Amino acid sequence: MNVTITARTTVATGVVALSLKSGDDLPPWRPGAHVDVTLPNGLTRQYSLCGDPADRSTWRIAVLLEESSRGGSAWIHAQAFEGDALTVSAPRNLFELEPAERYVFIAGGVGITPILPMIAEAERSGIPWTLWYSGKSGKSMAFTDELERYGDHVRLVPGGRVPVDEVLATPAPGTAVYCCGPESMVEAVENACRTWEPGTLHVERFTAATPQDGSFDVHLTQSGVDIRVEEGVSVLDALLEAGVEADYSCTQGFCGTCETRVLEGVPEHLDDYLDHSAPTDTMMICVSRSRCARLVLDL
Ligand code: FES
């Protein structure tokens, strides 16, 4: 759909927030949702919605000028101003705020964007929460003014790192951990959460994790086992070798029998079954691999 930029605000060093309107009510969305923005130069980029879901008239996104931008954020920073039109998709949510007894939010840099509506929702629902938010410097941290009203629920770490091992030292049942930030932060949080209940951790990466050609680890939540998938071996074969039962048929990625839900991690989809133009939380374990060091599967 076409939207118009109705406001452009610099919210931190190198970060602009854009308000978008369409003239009609915009589609509903929930905290954690993102939209695909298609730029006039043909590039498509995903940005989290970071405004108020109750406001159907306006969406807000925030865009960090990436040092290595190949025309996405650089185009927006140089060319997108109030009154200009953009093409956006309907909201999609791969980072849904699940019900929990309490939340721990961990954000790095512009990773605060999907977290902002989450903490507003947690606050509105009266669910206890804490946000740890770090950035290269105080000036590079967007929306700190909007966070002031939450008082000591918010721990800012300008110019430092969130003490992830300390924050997540003791597994607390009923807690959901949400993390969005640079890869080093996400990996630290993933490591710290390994002793927590499966399904506790929800992460969103700025970009797809580094493609991994070689081996990776798979954790199976139902069987409770960890399996190493070596280079040249499929996830399915590694599972069967380890004595784990899994459904399969074609073993070539086209029948859909081995479709498995991915709870954590980023799969490298190599199948011909799924619609790869749309996000999915499943993978075909007979052929698809991992873009990160560890996948958590619902098996
Ligand atoms: Fe057919 Fe995996 S077994 S797609």
Residue 261 inside a domain? The answer is yes
Q: Are 29 and 56 in contact (CB under 8 A)?
A: no
Residue 211 inside a domain? The answer is no
Instruction: Clarify whether residues 195 and 264 are in a common domain.
Output: no
Instruction: Clarify whether residues 120 and 192 are in a common domain.
Output: yes
Instruction: Clarify whether residues 39 and 75 are in a common domain.
Output: yes
Ligand 1 pocket member 257 (CB < 6 A): yes
Q: Are 95 and 114 in contact (CB under 8 A)?
A: yes
Residue 280 inside a domain? The answer is yes
Distance between Cα 285 and ligand 1 center (Å)? 7
Determine the pLDDT at residue 30: 96
**Residue ranges in the chain modelled with pLDDT below 70:** 68-70, 206-213, 276-279
Question: Which CATH number fits the domain that encloses residue 119?
Answer: 3.40.50.80
Determine the pLDDT at residue 45: 84
Q: If you take atom 4 of ligand 1, which residue's CA is the nearest one?
A: 253
Range of 238's domain? Answer: 216-297
Ligand 1 pocket member 254 (CB < 6 A): yes
Residue 203 has which token pair? 């992460």
* Residue where a domain terminates, one of 92, 110, 143: 92
Instruction: Clarify whether residues 157 and 78 are in a common domain.
Output: no
This prediction's pTM: 0.73
Residue 210 inside a domain? The answer is no
Instruction: Clarify whether residues 141 and 172 are in a common domain.
Output: yes
Distance between Cα 249 and ligand 1 center (Å)? 5
Backbone angles phi, psi at 70, to 5 degrees: -100, 25
Distance between Cα 138 and ligand 1 center (Å)? 49
Instruction: Clarify whether residues 107 and 196 are in a common domain.
Output: yes
Instruction: Clarify whether residues 222 and 179 are in a common domain.
Output: no
Domains of the chain: total: 3
Determine the pLDDT at residue 16: 96
Q: How far is it, in rounded angstroms, from Cα 41 to Cα 87?
A: 11
Instruction: Clarify whether residues 107 and 200 are in a common domain.
Output: yes
* Residue where a domain terminates, one of 41, 63, 92: 92
- Closest ligand 1 atom to Cα of 254: 4
Instruction: Clarify whether residues 120 and 70 are in a common domain.
Output: no
Determine the pLDDT at residue 66: 82
Q: Where would I find the beta strands (DSSP E) of 97-224? A: 102-108, 129-135, 154-158, 175-181, 201-205, 216-220
Instruction: Clarify whether residues 188 and 233 are in a common domain.
Output: no
Determine the pLDDT at residue 215: 87
Q: How far is it, in rounded angstroms, from Cα 64 to Cα 54?
A: 25
Angle at 20 (CA atoms; ends 16, 23), nearest 5 degrees: 165
Instruction: Clarify whether residues 106 and 84 are in a common domain.
Output: no
Determine the pLDDT at residue 268: 85
Determine the pLDDT at residue 211: 47
Residue 144 inside a domain? The answer is yes
* Residue where a domain terminates, one of 70, 92, 114: 92
Distances (CA, A) of 71 to 34, 201, 295: 19, 32, 31
Question: Which CATH number fits the domain that encloses residue 279?
Answer: 3.10.20.30
